[in-house]
Structure 1
Amino acid sequence: MKIAVIGSGITGASAAYHLTREGAEVVIIDKAHQGQATAAGAGIICPWISRADHKDWYTIAKRGALYYPSLIANLKQDGEEDFGYGMVGALAVSSSSDELDAIEQSVRQKKAETPEVGEITRLTAEEARELYPPLREDLQAIHVTGAARLDGRLLRDAMLNGAKKHGAAIIEGEGDLVFQNNKVTGVIVNGEVIAADAVIVTAGAWAKDLLNPLGIDLKVEPQRGQIAHLEIGSMDTSSWPVVLPQSSHYLVAFDHSKVVVGATRETGSGFDYRLTAAGVKEVLDEALTVAPGLAESTLKEVRIGFRPAGPDILPLLGTVPAAEGLVIATGLGASGLTMGPYVGTLAADLALKREMEIDLTPYDPLRKGLEAGVK
């Protein structure tokens, strides 16, 4: 079976890797757009502590987190070693005891059904700073050991390398769908028609324009995120936990004294690829409010990524009855690195026409209520 994958971000790379390991013939097509979300994002794998309170979101985010150990093991089998992955735990921080009480109750409920949440500990402000020294002095925390972080770029590259080792071809160029008699039969790229039994569209925020010629009005748009990368002297930051304040921002430490802080969520930005004074100020103000000890760190770079944002918090994942052979997997928004690799495996299984392990109805890309549809 020959399958084309359009878009090689975290979801597309995972779909391609999964397919090649299953013996499918795979062609990956990618335009290498500026602002791909995977390349910009900091990878937080911790659905246990989340401001998102939605059963269907949690179902897929939880499975996304639980999929990582087997994915990492498979990649290591294939000779890939470098993903920036570490099970470092997470701190939910707040100066409000009431807020932390509610978070602790929620996390303990999740642990009752998912032991992988790990150990849950209430920390004083002083204990929290022992784990993350730059924290503000009044911030207490809930510490959860079953949280991880990773480098999205490195993981994507590892999965693409793995797919190539299993025979995948990668073509750089703009892919257009070949559509006739209500069936997608391949992709045109660089003037060449590549026939395929199925096409998986994992083109992120660019999926909307790709599907428009088929009369499919996909409700996804780019949401700009600006993410700052700091370097903090010669401190060993490799085991610092992810820090999750009670906002949409975060702090993620990596090896080599690197701390990533973000991120803006600029709905309505379009594909406006540039740093803004207000965006960089927001990111740094939020980070320094939570961790003033980062004030003297070096600002190494600020990355820009366009999250594929749907009208709600759920991914856009599934097939389209009016376009046989087409699989859509996008709209992961700010959850791309949490659930992207797992969503990629689901998209691959859809293309292979396998029985699905979960009900995908809530994630239907043209589901009722999105005002999306086929024109």
Structure 2
Amino acid sequence: MSTYTIVGGGIVGASIGYHLVKAGHTVTLYDRADSGQATAASAGIIAPWISQKRNKDWYRLVTAGAKYYPEFVKKIETETGVSTGYKQEGVLSLFKDDTVLEKGFKRIHSKKENAPEMGEVYKVSREDVKKMHPHLTDLYPGVYVEGGGQIEGASLLKALKAGFLHHGGRWINEDFNSSKTEGLLIYASGAWAVEQGYAPKIRHQRSEVFHFEVDEAEKVTDTPVVMALGPIYLVELGANKYAIGTTHTETESFSTEPSRENYDYLRGLAQRYFPGSNIRDISMMVGLKPFARDYMPYIGYAEENVFIVNGLGSTGLTASPVLGREIVKFLNGEETELDFGDYSYI
């Protein structure tokens, strides 16, 4: 067995660490717990088949992630007793009219042949949208995908850390310097990769999410994730509680102070999708999401003893568990389901 040092205790670093120690390796993970970790402001939507992105390498990664989730969650929750908050209530993708709905249905349904984990896929009338999600507007029809799910990022990270420690990993909450390296060094440092200086260049976006409560007498739970018009989503956080997002602003700043402009924008959208309801603020969440060239993650060696995993952006929660599994296979010299040559482009 081998020795590894991981820098970065976000979802991907924790997942790699968990899968490594579970495979019998010796692992030390360093994490500074920086404010703005992308996990904190992620809705955790597991429904890659809805996306209109055409990058095949990206799609293979995220669909592998979605397929692995039920098995992975069952194992880690059994091992640790920690809930990840994973739910499969499906995903409801809204469309502005019936013509666009037909096109969207054909596009999404066509993916089912190669992804049976999607489950049932069917069109939903405006009236039935209201039945599925009683507080939601009935202005738009939708397509429902049964296999869609959601995960609570903070809860998943807690479970991964518990699993990592359970299998003998060392988690150190302090800054890392190269004199502390033992074995292969794995950088999974997200937006803070700028401090290491390795290629590819990692940039980041501020992502803001508005958490709110709908003040209604009827308490609604177990609603599907809603992919609204444009790059907007609605995720249930509990009875009558939701998150709506997200904004993306490229920046060099590491500030996590919410902006008034984005608050007004997201609160206005919340009122649009829950018309007639009294919206009560809960909080604004800000995360710093890393991305690399062409918005594709980079996974590969930077030099002989340095391995980089970064640039996952908004797909980190979907892809990180399966990446942990596959990277361990790769480092062990075993056959992998993912071809890491697709993600090692430097």
Same fold per TM (> 0.5)? Answer: yes
Q: Which consecutive aligned stretches of 4+ in structure 1 deviate over 6 angstroms post-superposition?
A: none
User: 1:284-295 to 2 correspondence within 5 Å?
Assistant: 284-292=267-275, 295=277
2: CA distance, partners of 1:281 / 1:41: 19
Deviations 1:246-304 (A, max 9, x none): 311100003343211111101125312211111112222233333325x4132111111
1:306-345 to 2 correspondence within 5 Å?
Answer: 306-320=288-302, 323-345=303-325
- In the other structure, the counterpart of 2:234 is 251
In structure 2, what is the Cα distance between the partners aligned to 1:153 and 1:365? 31
SS at match of 1:337: helix
Residue 355 (structure 1) shift: 3.4
Partner residue, 1:275: 258
CA distance in 2, matches of 1:143, 1:261: 19
- Following TM superposition, by how much is the alpha carbon of 1:328 offset from its aligned partner in structure 2, in angstroms? 1.0
8 Å CA contact retained: 1:224, 1:269: no
Post-superposition Cα deviations, 1:126-172, rounded to whole Å, max 9, x if no partner, equal 10011112222221111111100110000011011011011111111
Measure, in 2, the Cα distance between the counterparts of 1:52 and 1:66.
18
What does the per-residue CA deviation read over 1:216-258, in whole Å, with 9 as the maximum and x for residues that have no partner?
A: 2322112001111112346544310000023111000033432
Counterpart position of 2:78 = 77
| 3-state SS, counterpart of residue 42 of structure 1 | coil
CA distance in 1, matches of 2:205, 2:333: 32
CA contact (8 A) 1:328 1:365 kept: no
User: Contact 1:262 / 1:287 at 8 angstroms: preserved in 2?
Assistant: no
**CA-to-aligned-CA distance 1:47-88 (integer Å, 9 cap, x gap):** 011132221111001001011111112112313241111001
Q: Does 1:229 align with 2:215?
A: no
- Is this contact kept in 2: 1:198–1:351, CA < 8 A? no
Q: Count matched residues.
A: 344
Contact 1:329 1:347 in 2 (8 A): no
- Which structure 2 segments of 5+ residues have no match? none
Task: Let me know the Cα RMSD of the aligned residues.
Answer: 1.7
Aligned to 1:117: 118
* Equivalent residue letter for 1:173: E
Where does 1:195-210 land on structure 2 (aligned, <5 Å)?
Answer: 195-210=181-196
Q: Residue 362 of structure 1 corresponds to which residue in structure 2?
A: 342
Contact 1:264 1:282 in 2 (8 A): no
Q: Give the TM-score, by structure 2 length.
A: 0.94
Q: Which runs of 5+ in 1 are unaligned?
A: 179-187, 367-375
Letter in 2 for 1:48: W
Q: What is the CA–CA distance in structure 2 between the aligned matches of 1:162 and 1:256, rounded to whole Å?
A: 29
| Contact 1:10 1:340 (8 Å CA) reproduced | yes
Deviation at 1:358, TM superposition (A): 2.0
Contact 2:326-2:338 at 8 Å conserved across structures: no
Contact 2:200–2:293, Cα closer than 8 Å, also in 1: no
How do 1:168-183 and structure 2 match up within 5 A?
168-176=169-177, 178=178
User: Which residue is 2:34 aligned to?
Assistant: 33
Matched, 1:297 2:243: no
CA–CA distance in structure 2, aligned partners of residues 232 and 138 of structure 1: 18
What SS does the aligned partner of 2:186 have?
Answer: strand
